[in-house]
Amino acid sequence: MTLRPLALPTLIATAALLAACSSPVKLDEPKATTPAPVTQGGTGGSTQTPAQSQATPQSRVATVDLERQRREAEAAAAAQAAAAMANLPRVLYFDFDSFLLRAEDKPVLEGYAKALVAQRDRKLSLQGHADERGGREYNLALGQKRAEAVARAMELLGVQAGQVEAVSFGEERPADPASNEAAWAKNRRVEIKDR
């Protein structure tokens, strides 16, 4: 019987809450739809409102013009990027037993990155090399680290990972077969080639 004294206040509170939630304003009544005027043109029997028949050709022309302008701008940027890439050095050199990029290579890397960002379908092979000093496996690993360092630098500049491929030839393809410091300096390199 202790529930009976609480029942009346609960009933009153519920009624007040329901009354507060009701509203005389009707929301989103369906509006009566009237059929749009129909115009018939020639033999096609197409149904368009007068506004559609006037606006559609103009918007189609504007869309076609914008699309054409976009394609032309992309083609011009790609051609400019290709021309810029053609003038960049195709070889980056490294210090003895190192895969750290040199500061003077930064503009070269930026040039390649700019060109590759403009030409997303273009792909490069980054071929790492080492001089003859050191074991075969060591030189393969060093060449790979050099190629990957160039790839990472380009990716940090906006190039997509799928656009560059890092491979190593170690000491197997020397640029200069001599065994002296000048030849070794030429052999510690990454060659940048199209793929």
Domains in the chain, CATH or no CATH each: 80-194 (3.30.1330.60)
Three-state SS annotation for the chain: CCCHHHHHHHHHHHHHHHHHHCCCCCCCCCCCCCCCCCECCCCCCCCECHHHHHHHHHHHHHHHHHHHHHHHHHHHHHHHHHHHHHCCCCEEECCCCCCCCCHHHHHHHHHHHHHHHHCCCCCEEEEEECCCCCCHHHHHHHHHHHHHHHHHHHHHCCCCHHHEEEEEEECCCCCCCCCCHHHHHHHCEEEEEEC
Check pLDDT > 90 for residue 18: no
Predicted confidence (pLDDT) per residue in 62-118, tens digit: 777 888 888 888 888 778 877 878 889 999 999 999 999 999 999 999 999 999 999
pLDDT above 60 (res 29): no
What pTM was computed for the model? 0.63
Kindly state the average pLDDT of the residues 48-57: 54
Confidence class for position 119, pLDDT limits 50, 70, 90: very high
